[in-house]
Amino acid sequence: SIALDDALASLVRRHAHCVSAALDAHDFAPVLAYDDRGQPDGSAWAVGFLRAVEMAPGSWDAMLEEKEFGDALEAIETLAATLDDGAGARALSRRDREVLIERLIADVADIHEFFRPYRQAGTTPQAMRVETVRREQPKLGRNEPCPCGSGRKYKACCGAA
């Protein structure tokens, strides 16, 4: 129902606001599941994060193209891959998992900082991307004949405007 969709969207926005506030306060701690030994796992959180990334892939391109942020999703992708039951899944040592979770927290803070100017401007990197103008005809020089057929130089005719 529409009311349920609106309520869910409101909860997601409220959660996003709380996470953003925690990141601004340098107090972000992801809510992680724990394994059978009581150790933080991080895999399910990473899968959820990557699903959110997939919802707006164009918005992430600008960040991933930046040299400084190109590997920002690496730890998250590595943790997410451990949840996969397929052949590509690999088990992580407890220490490796702890290191990846620490890196995940640092990477999420970096990602938050990257998107800050876009949030403040109320836009996305995708919306601010400038496209190169492609001309169908070569640009006219000021001293070339005017294309209108007057016989005058472009700078003294249509180019004077």
Cβ pair 75, 50 in contact under 8 A: no
Q: Which domain holds residue 103?
A: 2-130
Is 37 a domain residue?
A: yes
Domain count, the chain: 1
The neighbouring-strand residues paired with 153 are 145
Is 161 a domain residue?
A: no
Q: What is the pLDDT tens value at each position of the chain, 161 positions in all?
A: 899 989 998 998 899 899 999 999 999 999 999 988 899 999 999 999 999 889 888 888 888 888 888 899 999 999 999 887 654 456 788 999 999 999 999 999 999 999 999 888 888 777 766 566 677 777 777 788 888 888 888 888 887 76
Is 103 a domain residue?
A: yes
Is 152 a domain residue?
A: no
